[in-house]
Structure 1
Amino acid sequence: MYDIAILAIIWLSVLVASFLAHKTRLTPVLWYLFCGAILVNLGALPQEMPIFITDFAELGIIIIMFALGFEEDTNNFLNSMKRSWGIALFGAVVPFAVAYFSAYYFWQNNNIALLCGLAMTATAVSLTMVSLKSEGLSKTPAATGIMTSAVLDDIASLAFVAILVPIATGEATVSLDGILLIIGKAVAFFVLVTIIGGWLFPTNPESTIINKLPIIGKIGLRHILAMGKGEYTILALLLIAVLVGLLAHEFGFHPAVGAYMAGLIIKKEYFDFHQEKEIDFYLHARGIIDNVAFSWIGPVFFVALGTKLIFDADLFVSVLPESLILFAGLFVGQITSAALAAKYTGGFDWSSSLMIGFGMLGRAELAFVVINIAFVQHQILSVEAFYTLMLTTFLLNCSVPLTIRWWKSKFQVLI
């Protein structure tokens, strides 16, 4: 019952955070993070979450990303990737350089600096996309640009994690074969997802060469979603999200990336069934998925994320100058590099470019993976470096909903 009690406390904090968000007109994500940090430091939540809560939070972020991909138009996403390469490149190189040189200046240790740079490279796209959705901006060109840039960022960051962490720990050296293997796995994953979306799950199964195969050739995604007169539609969708997420994990990516891609391959046309029931199954499914993602499972991820910041007064004061310097450098560097890249390599207008810059500020999943490897598993990071990264990450995450909320009034979009 202990794990259930923790979940009850988290859900209670979600209700409180939602109430505070309504009263302050700030995005709930900020309050989820705040509640998690307060509760863990008051002792109401444990510093080390039980595996049940950890897995539940992981499921939350998978469903969140699936829900966001489910709302996105596949063609818009693919077209945006052509515009986003510069945002991904410069939006990652500059934060890495800022964090690396700042950390080296603070602690005079190359391995610490290397892993600090790596931790501060990848964007927490889930935090940004939820913040954009709460402001009604999740389907704008800027949001798609952020998502595609962050996916490219995550692919590159995962490659660097696989390459640089063993180097920093002294377990390996740079290998051309290793680099080619990582690139090959990334290409193979996206090709496989494309095959799943275009061939195995076509709108019209008879229109593809797969129809010659037994069983699979006669079954499209529409048949699966229509099972039981549509009563199993949500179960089928969540199963697809989890399975593609697991597939992404096998290829070395965060499951959330796979879940987003799963949402992308599902088209509105798949829900054209059981018209005699006079139900729009697409809108019905979206409503339920959104409720699950943004109201009761997804928020657990953000509350749990807030519990990563443990308050220690003496240590907090000692690392505050370094944290503020690193935060300021990343804040300016990330916004400037991403916005300029969006404007001059992606062709976005200045309003959208700045929104992309603000949206790229967050740091979450991959940052904590690197921090965990460097501090817990291999003891490369000092305690001071660990707290500096944690505090900086928390400040960056808090900046995302605040800056998006502030810029929304000046953000010119066509809805």
Structure 2
Amino acid sequence: MFEGVTILTTFAIAMTMVVLMPKLMERLRLPAILGFIIAGFLLGPAAMGLIKEDGPVIYLLAELGKLLFMFFVGFEIDLDDFKKTRTRSITFGVLTFILPFAAGVLVGRLTGFGWNASLLIGSIIASHTLLAFPILQKLGLTQHPTVLMVVGGTIFTDIASMLVLAVTVSVHLTGFSWSFLGKEMLELAIFVPLILFGAGNLARKAIIRYGQKPELRVTIMLVVIVVCAEGARIINLEGIVGAFLAGIAVKRAVRGKFAVEQLEVTSQALFIPAFFLTTGFLVDPVVLKQSITESPGMTFGMLAGVLAGKTVAALLTGLIFRQSRPEMGTVASLSFPQMAATLASAVVGYQCINSQGVRLLDATFVNASVLIVIVTCVLGPILTERYAKQMRQDATAEAKTSSASESEVAVAPDVATERRSLCS
């Protein structure tokens, strides 16, 4: 039906949907992000077929979009504020990794997977993607202590899950080796400080020397992000971890947004929407049916493990640090979405074949992963928007109450002074 459509016409249709679909979602009181995902489904191979999922152009745009998305998540972090929530971030990070991880290992063992594959399954559902972060940006909550706690916890879950991936793949291919595990830990201990302290300073010096024009600053920042992402891949981490750390590093070294203003505009207009469009490509009714009918225990067990594990982690963290109900709801829903790291790890596990011709993970698991991605990516943003709005209302009310109390304290001495003067 659309075989004669030129690539420029396809681009125009895609960009039109990128503009219109988020607006439609907002009118339906749904997160705008869902508009991109639905547009991707309609344009993708399962519906209209206008865009091929393996096309080199869309792949490049989506890959850059994924990296830029995580870069700006990292860029929103102010390390000075982050230090204030360090204890909370570590606590939440450990809980939100360990609980889903244990659930995933249990589901893997109960559905017939070996220990090595089950450990990988646990790590896959333990990670999460901050898909709903743009909602918090829109509501002005990115510097809220609860949000900083979730973002800090994400560092732990992503790095831990990628480390488990690297170890399980190595064990499947060559057998377990303590030397390999030690090598991975050493590389990680070198890589993280190198990015946090080296990449940011390098970017600042390059911008000072060569970045007089906006287009040059965009180019410099793209190079920094891609190099950090590739550096992460060299040590068997997902590229998004490197991009995320690059965002933190650049924010630390370059105060203000002048270095990334033009890059942010370009990213929000083209690259990041392309990333969400390709997520919509995964929505395939046939695959969804197969996941439900052929492996219900795996599919619903993993889904329950994600939702229950992340929710319990949020509740325990909230009880420990006395957070409000909207804060706990925001924490849980923000950590629901399974996307970038989940799909990447699932595909790597499927493509990992040892010398006996055995895959680490089978196609059934990949299908189940797709369904989990869809459900969590739909449910997470919807709940995040709901709870985050309540959290903002509570914060606004608390600020007004605090302001009123300060005004009363300031006025009280003046009233007393006036009474004394009248009496005299």
TM-score range, shorter chain: 0.7 to 0.9
In structure 2, relative to structure 1, the CA distance for the partners of 1:348 and 1:180 (3 Å cut) is farther
Deviates more, 1:51-60 or 1:21-30: 21-30
Contact 2:337–2:376 (CA under 8 A) maintained in structure 1 = yes
In structure 2, the CA distance between the partners of 1:338 and 1:123, relative to structure 1 (3 Å rule), is: same
Alignment counterpart, residue 301 of structure 1, candidates 242, 264, 275: 275
Mean Cα deviation higher: 104-113 or 233-242: 104-113
Provide the rounded CA distance (Å) in 1 between the counterparts of 2:206 and 2:377. Answer: 37
Structure 1 unpaired stretches of 5+ = 203-219, 272-281
Moved more, 393-402 or 23-32: 23-32
The 5-angstrom pairing of residues 10-409 of structure 1 reads 10-40=14-44, 41-45=46-50, 48-107=53-112, 110=115, 113-125=118-130, 127-167=131-171, 169=172, 171-196=173-198, 220=205, 223-224=208-209, 226-228=211-213, 232-267=216-251, 270=254, 282=256, 287-312=261-286, 315-319=290-294, 321-322=296-297, 323-341=299-317, 343-344=319-320, 351-378=326-353, 379-409=359-389
Which one-letter code corresponds to 1:291 in the other structure?
Answer: V
CA–CA distance in 1 between the matches of 2:241 and 2:289? 38
Counterpart-to-counterpart distance in 2, 1:403 and 1:343: 20
> Which letter does structure 2 place at the counterpart of 1:23?
R
Secondary structure in 1 matching 2:267? helix
Higher relative contact order (CA 8 A, sep 6+): 1
CA shift, 1:231, in A, is: 5.9
TM-score, scaled to structure 1: 0.80
Structure number, greater radius of gyration: 2
Indicate if the aligned counterparts of 1:83 and 1:347 stay in contact, CA closer than 8 A.
Answer: no
Aligned mates of 1:102, 1:391 — CA distance in 2 = 16
Distance 1:139 1:290, change over 3 A: farther
Deviations 1:162-205 (A, max 9, x none): 111233x3x23322221121111111112212332676567xxx
CA contact (8 A) 1:47 1:308 kept: no
Q: Which amino acid aligns with 1:173?
A: G
**Contact kept in structure 2, 1:95 and 1:120, CA below 8 Å:** yes
Letter in 2 for 1:298: I
For the 8 Å contact 1:3–1:52, the answer to whether it is kept is no
Counterpart-to-counterpart distance in 1, 2:54 and 2:375 = 22
- Preserved contact between residue 327 and residue 387 of structure 2 (Cα < 8 Å): no
Report if the CA contact (8 A) 1:83-1:145 is conserved.
Answer: yes
Q: Distance in 2 between the 1:79 and 1:181 partners?
A: 32
Return the alpha-carbon distance in structure 1 between the equivalents of residues 254 and 347 of structure 2. Answer: 41
Deviation at 1:145, TM superposition (A): 1.5
Deviation at 1:7, TM superposition (A): 4.6
User: How much is the aligned-residue C-alpha RMSD, in angstroms?
Assistant: 3.1
